[in-house]
C-alpha cells in the first residue's frame, strides 16, 4: 500500500496518507484544519550504504512518480545505484551529486546554492557552509515563494488514511 504526501498550504504542513489504491480517486482532507485544498508533493527519500536491489525496490521503481520530472528521476536512480557510504562523507562527491541533481531538476539555482555547491566541490566542509550560508539560502528560497510563507513546511509525524 503506497503512502502519498500532501501539503496543506493553510497549515504549511506536509501530511502522509496511507492509500489502499495506487491511484487514489479522491483528495484527502487536512487532519489539522479540515481544508480540502491539499497539494500532492514528492515524497522524501534516503540513501543508506551501498545500494542493493531487492524485489521490493524493483517493484517500487516500476511505479510511476508523476511529481518528479523524468530526468530527475533517472538521475536519482543512477546516483542511488552508484553511491556508497564513503562517498557520502566526501564533500567533493556530495557537491558533484548536488550539482547533478540541481541540473537534472531543470530549475534555476539560487546564487547562494550555486556558491555552496562550488565550495563543496572544492572540498569545504558542508556543515560549516550550512552555518555560514544557510540563513542566506533560506532567504533566497523564501523570496521565490508566493505570499511570503515559510519556505520549508513542517512534516507531520502521523500517518493518516484516506
Our CA dihedral for 28, 32, 34, 37, rounded to 10 degrees, sits at -60
Contact between 98 and 120 (Cβ < 8 Å): yes
| Structural domain count of the chain | 1
Per-residue pLDDT of 117-150, as tens digits, reads 999 999 999 889 888 988 888 887 765 554 444 5
* pTM over cut 0.75: no
Answer whether residue 107 shows pLDDT above 90: no
Structural domain of 141: 3-161
Amino acid at each position: 500500500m503506497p503512502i502519498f504526501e500532501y501539503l496543506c498550504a493553510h497549515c504549511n504542513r506536509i501530511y502522509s496518507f496511507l492509500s489502499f489504491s495506487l491511484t487514489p480517486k479522491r483528495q484527502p482532507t487536512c487532519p489539522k484544519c479540515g481544508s480540502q485544498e491539499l497539494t500532492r508533493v514528492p515524497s522524501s527519500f534516503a540513501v543508506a550504504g551501498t545500494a542493493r536491489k531487492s524485489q521490493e525496490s524493483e517493484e517500487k521503481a516500476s511505479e510511476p512518480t508523476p511529481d518528479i520530472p523524468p530526468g530527475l528521476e533517472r538521475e536519482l536512480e543512477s546516483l542511488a545505484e552508484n553511491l556508497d557510504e564513503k562517498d557520502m562523507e566526501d564533500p567533493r562527491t556530495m557537491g558533484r551529486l548536488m550539482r547533478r541533481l540541481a541540473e537534472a531538476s531543470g530549475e534555476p539555482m539560487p546564487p547562494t546554492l550555486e556558491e555552496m555547491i562550488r565550495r563543496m566541490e572544492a572540498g569545504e566542509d558542508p556543515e560549516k557552509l550550512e552555518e555560514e550560508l544557510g540563513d542566506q539560502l533560506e532567504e533566497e528560497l523564501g523570496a521565490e515563494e508566493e505570499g511570503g510563507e515559510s519556505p520549508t513546511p513542517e512534516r507531520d509525524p502521523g500517518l493518516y488514511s484516506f
